Structure 1
Amino acid sequence: MDLWLEDQLGHAVLSENLLDPIEMMVSKQADSYIGKFQTFIVQNHYLFN
């Protein structure tokens, strides 16, 4: 599960880096996904370690 979550986080970060600064709504959505995946990674760490 760790690998999958980290992979998805990486995709979200890369996607955000490709956006133009004018695309604020999409950038905010990407930030939201990044935050969610980071939270899931922490939760997964405490559940299985």
Structure 2
Amino acid sequence: MRTVEVQLDQCWELLRQRRALSEFGDDPNAARIRPADEAEGHQS
């Protein structure tokens, strides 16, 4: 279960990166999945 939670955090982080890049006119495909220890727990 914990693995799924970490992967979900990473997916949300990637989605936020893509939206931010797109909003500022940059390429959303430049977004990259951050390592689990960096993305984990960054919830809004």
TM range (shorter): 0.5 to 0.7
Deviation at 1:32, TM superposition (A): 0.2
Q: TM-score, normalised by structure 1?
A: 0.50
Runs of 4+ in 1 over 3 A off after TM superposition: none
Which residue in the other structure is 2:9 paired with? 31
Higher relative contact order (CA 8 A, sep 6+): 1
Q: TM-score, normalised by structure 2?
A: 0.56
Q: Equivalent pairs: percent with the same residue?
A: 12
What is the total number of aligned residue pairs between the two structures?
Answer: 26
CA RMSD, aligned part only?
A: 1.3
Flag structure 2 segments of 5+ consecutive residues without an equivalent: 27-44
Deviation at 1:25, TM superposition (A): 0.1
